[in-house]
Amino acid sequence: MPVALQNMLTSLGARIKSFSIAQRTLAILAIAILVLGGIFVASQLTKPQYTPLFTGLAATDASAVVTQLQTDGVQYQLADGGATILVPQSAVYSERLKVAAAGLPADNTQGYALLDQMGVTSSEFQQNVTYKRAIEGELAKTIEAMDGVKTASVQLAIPQQTVFTDDAKDPTASVFVATMPGITLSTEQVQAIVHLTSASIEGMKATDVSVVDAQGDVLSTVGGGAAGTSSQQQSQYQTQVQTSVQNMLDKVLGAGNSTVVVAADMSQNSGTKVTQSYSNPTGGASPISESSSTESYGGSGAGSASGATGVLGPDNIAVPSGSSTTGTGSGYVNSSSTKDNAVDKTTESTTIPSGTLTKQTVSVAINSKIAKNLNLGNINDLVAKAAGIDPTRGDSLSVQMVDFNGAGAAQAKQALAASAAQAASDGRMQLIKTGLIAAAIGVPLILGLFLLTRRGRRQEREDIDLGELQATGPSGTAGTWPGAATVPLSLDDVEARRLLESGGSPQTAPTMQLPSLGEEGRTMERKRAEIDALAGSDPDRTAELLRGLLDDRQSV
């Protein structure tokens, strides 16, 4: 073993042996913390990263996939109640291919896979029901693919086709959606579900889809669209109008000088209104049908005894058709004509959703203290335009100058000041609490480090062996005589150094003989001689050593 390493280990062992019980305890705790921390970091670094292999699996499919993973010897984790299977990231793609090759997941309970199970002997009713179930399953799987949707169910109501178009009804759909915990579907997502469902069924409109979530809230109604319930629509409309009018008045009158209240009445009924109207065709339209009949009989008066023609009466006597006084008449003529002209027919079908605004009332109160040069007519016009007042609908607007009560504002101001002061006090208390916790943790740590450092410094001072100083010459530099190196100093070396300083030679220097002393006396004399030698060669270091000895309260 190299001498430097051996000396370092020896010094380290001596330093550890010189530790007190408290220092040894702190050192053991520090080593234990370092070891445990290293083990934790190593375990986290070597721990495999898990990635979802499949999500949203049915119970049967999850069981089959887990069995396949156990057969392959791949570690796995289950999440979302067993619907999600996690595997190490390095095995995701290979296991996904193996599981797919095994025909998993094989959930054929919904979707167009139902059509594969139909036989040739299925009745028309079974075919229609299976086809409807297939469409419902495909729509449910598509909706479940949206962000935030955990599960979905679609129910379709498709009426039977009939040749009577007046009796035909539109198909409708109801969608049940369960979202992830803490997630609420936005209006855009509800609209996407509505349009996705309506566009998948022939003849279905967006207003024919109803969407309900797991909390029982109606997100879209049939005939009303994805706008929520009537109460929600009413509250939203009142808030919107009130905010618009209040922002305008705050800019005109200043903040706190006006207040606005909006009361809106909305219809809770919904339905469909069909209107048919007829009108004459314009531009001389051709008739759609026309019939004409003409009949004529003619004869001369010379060949007749009476000179008249007509229909034979009783006894075959001709009844003249003309006037009996003239003796002559015209022939029989019968003409008829029928003409059916085209008529314009207009049929209008209007869907009336629930939540239609029937009437609203807007009340505005203005602080009379700032209404000296205020024109109420202008304010009325501004508020009426901003709120959309329609007198024909029954809307009403009221703008009044009133005295505002300043007590509430003063109390609110005091409450705000008290709240700010309380928040500042809480912040200071939290800061003090954090400081006390940090001090409780840091002070013992700093104290322990200080004790260790002080002990190490003391050990370094005690480890200075006066006999391990580098031999120096009169000028304080090494190598002033042959063979100068780091050698133990003895009393002979001290005498040799003194001879060198006086011009002598160390080879001819006599060895100083000390009188025979006891063991304790010899030790004390040796230390004094070594200190004298050190003081003569290096006064600064000697002074530092003496200061360290005085600080440690050790007797020489």
* Whether residue 398 has pLDDT greater than 50: yes
CB atoms within 10 A of CB 104: 19
DSSP state of 290: E
Which residues make Cβ contacts (< 8 Å) with residue 551, sequence separation at least 6? Answer: none
Instruction: Quote the tokens at residue 28.
Output: 């053991």
Q: What is the pLDDT of residues 338-373, one digit of tens each?
A: 777 666 778 887 777 667 788 899 999 988 888 777
Write down the pLDDT at residue 43: 79
- Predicted confidence (pLDDT) per residue in 74-88, tens digit: 888 888 888 888 888
Query: Mind listing the pLDDT tens digit for each residue in 458-492?
Result: 555 544 444 444 444 444 444 444 444 444 445 45
- pLDDT tens readout for residues 531-548: 777 777 777 777 777 777
Give yes or no for residue 400 having a pLDDT over 80.
Answer: yes
128 has a pLDDT exceeding 80: yes
Q: How far apart are CA 554 and CA 95, in angstroms?
A: 74
Tell how strand 84-88 and strand 50-54 pair up. antiparallel
pLDDT category of residue 303 using cuts at 50, 70 and 90: very low
What is the reported pLDDT for 309? 53
The DSSP letter of residue 392 is: G
d(CA 466, CA 527): 9
Mean pLDDT of 390-401: 90
Cα separation of 459 and 446, whole Å? 20
Averaged pLDDT for residues 424-434 = 87
Q: Is the pLDDT of residue 452 over 60?
A: yes
461 contacts: CB under 8 Å, gap ≥ 6: 545, 548, 549, 552
Q: Global pTM? A: 0.40
Whole-angstrom Cα distance, residue 82 to residue 124?
Answer: 39
